[in-house]
Amino acid sequence: MIEKTVKIINKAGLHTRPAATLVKLASKYECEFYIFKDGLNINGKSIIGVMTLAAEMGSELTLSFDGSDEEAAADEIVSYFNRGFDEL
Amino acid sequence: MKNFKQIYRASDNKVSGIAAAPGIVIGKAYLFTKEKLEINHSGITDVNDAKKNFKEALIKSKKELNKIFALAKEKMEDTRSAIFEAQLMILDDPVLIKNIEKRIEEEKKQPESIVDDEISKYIGLMKNSHEAYMNERAHDIEDIKNRIIRNLQKKRWQSRIVNDVIIISVSLTPADMILFSRCDVKGFVTDHGGLTSHAAIISRSLNIPAVVGAHDATQKIHDEDLIIVDGFHGYVIINPSQEQLEFFKQKQIKLIELQKSLDEFKDKKAITTDGREVTLRANVDVTGEIDIVKTSGAHGIGLYRSEQVLDELGEFPEEDEQARIYTNLASRIYPETITIRVFDIGGDKFKIGDYVEPNPFLGLRGIRLLLENPAILKTQFRAILRASTNKNIQMMLPMVTTIAEVRDAKKILAESKRELKNQNIPFDQDIPVGIMVEVPAAAVIAEIFAKEVDFLSIGTNDLIQYLMAVDRGNDLVSNLYQEFNPTVVRTLKHIVAEAQKANKPVSICGEMAADTLAIPLLVGLGLEELSMSPATIPYAKRIIRYFAYEDAKILAGKCSTCTTQEEVIKTIEKFFKDHSITRTRQII
């Protein structure tokens, strides 16, 4: 299992479009993907779950990946966060 | 035996409204509420069936969203289209779907109840957030939840036998009506709406008695009450006495006898006593109606409201699907002709895209909306052309206001023809194209329009609405919707004269032609073709065969000098009396 902490750095935060992209990225992998924030534990492959997250600029989230392809998944998804959802 | 008046005067167990579709029915009431989604929380026995229904509701919702999304894409900003994309993804959300299916298995409750509960959990979380945009997001999720539930309920409605009930509702949409028509509903009663509301038009089309605009019907009538709907006088009797029940049963028998006698008119011409023949054609709102058209003795279809396809399918069908539908209609009505009106959407019917109009009836509707979305219009033109090989199709443009609109539409039509030609697909090269005259701007200069097109057809519903500046669905002002106002009489007279100047045929296809009282006036104004609900055709024919055209002309002249609607109605009623024409309601 891999755990990573990421920060939201784009201005609009985790709004609907990046939420959808995030779920699409996660769905390509077999490993489980969870997002922890404010005591909530959200399955990152569930769009409706991810949409309940209010993550504005500056907020921190913990991501966990667990499964055979966890490393590749973590790489791609963390990089998406670090690129500010390509909205910088 | 007592008459209607005495029966009604003596009873306080009644509600009154507008007689929207003729006939008398006695049956059990079923209250239909849809403004607020009512969730059925009852248990189920067949888990597999429930899961299958859930899956199908997801597929249906996806189909609907995909179509709306594809069409609306150009018109929306990115943020809004992202919402649609997310909504679509929710319909595929593996976690959500697995949870719902698991709960259906474990809790054995209606899927709609589980869907509601499960998705509402997420909505609750969003609403708890103090971020403003989360509240908006909650609305979007609510939207998709309601869509799934609606589709589940449709499923439930269709699978459920509601034979022999009378539907009581605040209001009804065309889609509701079509749904019910498949369930053998016996009658309709609505709180809102007037003679030209969709509920009224479609119930006439389906030949199902209806009373609309009955104000507090949904308050006074309860589920399972025994009620009598009198679609001639616009009364509904709730839990009738033995005497009332007997009275209406007698009337029903008389009505059946009358209908039998009307059948005799089927093969007779609609001809005045002095030999002027009037062509009676049928308005068709729902596909099932085509059988009624044939038995009514109509000369083909004067108005096919093609947007019914959208109501029935809930989406824009592809060209092939449309071509199949139109070909089927045209061949079933052959050798008579069918006039297909291209999608009249917008206003209160089927919106494309995510915009709000403060005044939808003065907004993007009819040909305006189609010219904004030329791909839709072209697909429909191509489909209609492909169905026209027997040369028995005409097409008609709705809500035309300017000549430029006619020319733009004809340009698209010409392109469609060119494309088909290049593809070697056969079609009627000379397919007639006409317009609906329903905007005062078109009525005033009808001659100029008539020169541009092959025929005119007067749509009285909208024309009266725009002439009188009255929303026909608004109870507060619906008394201003006056079919017999001298303004209407003179405007009709003007349009007929303008069409004659251009030497082009003019017909009338609004609901006004369905009012038997209007028949002598319309004939007298010089209209040679009337299109109406097929069920009313035998009644109209009977009346036309009673008077002389020359007398009707005098009547029309008198009516156009009247000062008020009341005067016009009195003048026509006197005409009926003088010619000993009895209206149906007086015969039974």
* Model pLDDT for residues B303-350, shown as the tens digit of each residue: 999 987 876 666 778 899 899 999 999 998 999 999 999 999 886 666
Q: How confident is the model at residue B38 (pLDDT cuts 50, 70, 90)?
A: confident
Determine which of A19-33, A65-79, B194-208, B505-519 has the lowest per-residue pLDDT on average: B194-208
**Chain A CB contacts of B95 below 8 Å:** 43, 45-46, 48-49
Q: Does the pLDDT at position B162 exceed 90?
A: no
Q: Which has more pLDDT, B355 or B19?
A: B19
CA-nearest of A49, A25, A53, A26 to A37 is A53
State the amino acid at position B333 in one-letter form. I
Angle B388-B394-B395 from CA coordinates, rounded to 5°: 105
Cα torsion B164, B165, B167, B168 to 10°: value is 150
Residue B496, token pair as written in the block: 């007929």
Residues 6 or more apart whose CB falls under 8 angstroms from that of B342 comprise B306, B367, B370, B377, B380, B381, B384, B395, B396, B397, B398
- Chain A residue whose CA is closest to B137: A51
**Chain A CB contacts of B89 below 8 Å:** 20, 23-24, 47
Residue B423 phi/psi, 5-degree rounding, is -90, 0
Q: How far is B88 from chain A (nearest CA, A)?
A: 10
Which superfamily does A2-86 belong to? HPr-like (3.30.1340.10)
Q: What is the sign of the dihedral through the CA atoms of B306, B311, B312 and B314?
A: positive
Q: Indicate the residue of B82, B94, B134 with minimum beta-carbon distance to A20.
A: B82
Q: What is the pLDDT of residue B182?
A: 67
Q: How far is B71 from chain A (nearest CA, A)?
A: 20
d(CA B245, CA B226): 10
Considering the segment(s) B268-587 as one domain, its CATH architecture is Alpha-Beta Barrel (3.20)
- Chain A residue whose CA is closest to B119: A48
Cβ atoms of B420 and B427 closer than 8 Å: yes
Instruction: For residue B571, list its beta bridge partners.
Output: none
**Chain B CB contacts of A20 below 8 Å:** 82, 85-86, 89
- Give the ipTM: 0.94
Interface test with B, best of A24, A33, A35, A48 (most B CBs within 10 A): A48
**Chain B CB contacts of A17 below 8 Å:** 78-79, 82, 85
In B282-311, the residues whose Cβ lies within 8 Å of chain A are none
A15 is catalytic: yes
**Chain B CB contacts of A24 below 8 Å:** 89
Mean pLDDT calculated for residue range B238-253:
91
Does residue A18 have a cis peptide bond before it, meaning omega lies within 30 degrees of 0? no
Interface test with A, best of B78, B95, B97, B143 (most A CBs within 10 A): B95
Domain B47-159 has CATH 3.50.50.60: no
Please tell me which residue in A9, A10, A15, A78 is annotated as part of the active site: A15
**Chain A CB contacts of B96 below 8 Å:** 46, 48-49
Q: Which has more pLDDT, B169 or B139?
A: B169
Task: Please tell me if residue A54 touches chain B, with a CB cutoff of 8 Å.
Answer: yes
- Chain A residue whose CA is closest to B124: A52
CA-nearest of B432, B434, B433, B484 to B460 is B484
pTM of the entire structure?
0.66
| Pairing state between β B279-284 and B301-305 | parallel
Residues 6 or more apart whose CB falls under 8 angstroms from that of B9 comprise none
Q: What is the pLDDT of residue B95?
A: 94
Q: Which has more pLDDT, B177 or A3?
A: A3
Mean of the per-residue pLDDT values of chain B: 87
B198 is catalytic: yes
**Chain A CB contacts of B78 below 8 Å:** 17
In B112-131, the residues whose Cβ lies within 8 Å of chain A are 119, 122, 125-126, 129-131
Contact A54 B86 (CB under 8 A): no
Instruction: For residue B30, list its beta bridge partners.
Output: B167
**Distances A9 to A56, B195, B398, B554 between C-alpha atoms, Å:** 9, 59, 52, 82
Spell out the domain ranges in chain B: 4-35+170-252, 47-159, 268-587
Contact A48 B90 (CB under 8 A): yes
d(CA B114, CA B99): 9
Contact A20 B78 (CB under 8 A): no
Considering the segment(s) B4-35+170-252 as one domain, its CATH architecture is 3-Layer(bba) Sandwich (3.50)
Mean pLDDT calculated for residue range B286-312:
81
d(CA B535, CA B209): 11
Q: What is the pLDDT of residue B196?
A: 67
Q: Does the pLDDT at position B428 exceed 60?
A: yes
Q: Does the pLDDT at position B298 exceed 50?
A: yes
Q: Indicate the residue of A16, A54, A56 with minimum beta-carbon distance to B86.
A: A16
DSSP summary character for residue B163? T
Contact A20 B85 (CB under 8 A): yes
Determine which of B142-156, B423-437, B523-537 has the lowest per-residue pLDDT on average: B142-156
Q: Indicate the residue of A17, A24, A49 with minimum beta-carbon distance to B95.
A: A49
Mean pLDDT calculated for residue range A72-84:
95
